[in-house]
Every structure is written in structure tokens, then in C-alpha cells.
Amino acid sequence: MPSALKIPMLAVLLLGSLPAAAVDLPPGRAAELERLVLQDCGSCHGLTLKGGLGPDIRAATLAGTPPASLAHIVLHGVPGTPMPPWHPLLSEAEAQWIAEFLLKGEAP
């Protein structure tokens, strides 16, 4: 691997493993995002998020996954799968909030 790529890749790995800071959202936005997770994400991942068309995204299954990695998947989707990119509708902070919400296990 060229040395110019080693440092950025190392930075991504290190940053992805750091604990995420709590995300501050405008009043009411957290409730909207929670509904989005339960309804929109639940339409593929199952209404209890145990899996369906998409995989199980409950906290126990996601344990150990860096929040930044989950936020990236939310924003950019997963090519070659039905997981769409949500970046047209969500900000990076909102994707981070969703990642933290899923990892905390606050969803049903």
C-alpha cells in the first residue's frame, strides 16, 4: 500500500473506534428520527428490527460496531444491497444520532 494512503486509513480506523459524543438535535428532532427508525428502517429490518429484507439491527447484534461506521452506512447505504443512502434526507449529525440510538438499544 502506498504510504500516502496508510495515514488516512489509520485515521479512519482510529476515529471510527473512538466513543461518539452525544449528538445535540433541535427540539423534537430526536422523536422524528426515532419514528423514522421504527417505521422506515423497520419496513426492511423488521418492525422490531430483528431482521427481514435487511439484517438484524438491534443493539446486541451491532455491539462493538463503531458508531461512525453505522452512521456511514445510514448516510451512504450499502452498494449492491437494498440499503439506500439516506444522505439526501439526513445530516451527518442525524445519522450519528441514529447510530447511537441503535447501539444504546432504545428501539424495541
Query: What's 40's domain CATH number?
Result: 1.10.760.10
Dist. CA 51–CA 16, nearest whole Å? 25
> Does 63 reside within a domain?
yes
If one counts the domains in the chain, the total is 1
> Does 65 reside within a domain?
yes
At 23-78, the pLDDT tens digits run: 889 999 999 999 999 999 999 999 999 999 999 999 999 999 999 999 999 999 99
> Does 71 reside within a domain?
yes
Boundaries of domain holding 105? 34-108
> Does 6 reside within a domain?
no
> Does 79 reside within a domain?
yes
Q: Which amino acid is at 61?
A: T
Helices assigned H by DSSP within the chain: 3-17, 29-36, 42-45, 59-62, 67-76, 92-104
pTM recorded for the entire structure? 0.78
> Does 105 reside within a domain?
yes
Q: Greatest CA separation found in the chain?
A: 46
